[in-house]
Amino acid sequence: AFPLVYGSAFNYLMIPLMFALWGVISRAVAFEFHVHAIGSKRFWGWMFALGSLLAPFGAGVALGAVLQGFPMKHGIAAENVAGAHALAFDLVPHYSGAALTFLTPFSIWTGFGAVIAASLAGGLYLCARFVPGDVIHERAKKWTNAFSLLALAGIVVTLIWSYAIFPWAAAKWTGPDWWVWLIWFVVILGFAYKSMMAHANQRDFVALLWGEGVVALMWFAMWATMFPYIVPNTWTIQAAANPADSLAVFTLFMTGFVPVMIMYNWYQIWVFRGRYTKKAMYAGH
């Protein structure tokens, strides 16, 4: 839908996305090898932990870097190999920054924020999947309590920092519709409170749903704040979008594909809806 954004942004975000991809792959490899390893279980355990940290950290750094925007310029010199002629495409914009332009204090912070959010989601998931009183459940519960407070603090810090360094965000949040953003922030805090209370009462699946609601509300608020930009101060949605006929084909395809994905994932959730103990988990595997 946005080919020019993909082309320029992936050039800009090559390094953090590479680390995120490496983290996802290493998690999958370590998960499989750890079960069958005899003398190297500790190594694969650390590999799984490292991948679990790198994946959200790289994605979080990339998100923070996108919010900052990136430098662009027009004109690409492409050499015609057959005729050894240089062809200038003046209308094609491309990324003009350095390899480490993405690396700023804010992007590093959003990387840590993503790790906190992923750790909280993982803790809630483990609490929902394992029987209360089980060793894994109790350990996850302690971590989840800590990461809940860290996540709330992270939300406040990110909002204050964003207000300070992004004029487009400050203009939206303090403009004529400031009261809408205030209500939205209160709703987010309400969802977070309901998640923490449900977790405290051992209604862990409900706590997980409330937590997912917090993430959904924050994503919507972020996109509403950036609108009409898809990359702040770099690309607007209208300027970056494909032609109308291409968008129509894409929309028709996704209209049929998204319900299939939803049904498949819901089927997975329904099949594996029961809770486990650590002993039963290993026996079943």
**Are residues 272 and 157 both part of a single domain?**
no
HSE (CB half, 13 Å, CA atoms) of 150?
Answer: 17
**Are residues 270 and 196 both part of a single domain?**
no
Asked if the model's pLDDT at residue 75 lies above 70, the reply is no
**Are residues 155 and 106 both part of a single domain?**
yes
Weakest mean pLDDT among 8-17, 186-195, 273-282: 273-282
In a domain, 169, yes or no: yes
Domain of residue 218 covers 3-71+90-241
d(Cα 151, Cα 148) in Å, to the nearest integer? 5
131 close to 279: Cβ distance less than 8 angstroms: no
**Are residues 142 and 208 both part of a single domain?**
yes
HSE (CB half, 13 Å, CA atoms) of 57?
Answer: 13
- pTM of the entire predicted model: 0.79
The pLDDT confidence band at residue 277, using thresholds 50, 70 and 90, is low
In a domain, 84, yes or no: no
**Are residues 263 and 170 both part of a single domain?**
no
pLDDT tens, position by position, 147-198: 989 998 998 999 999 999 998 888 889 888 889 999 999 999 999 999 989 9
* DSSP codes joined into one string, 148-172: HHHHHHHHHHHHHHHHHH-HHHHHH
**Are residues 102 and 8 both part of a single domain?**
yes
**Are residues 67 and 155 both part of a single domain?**
yes
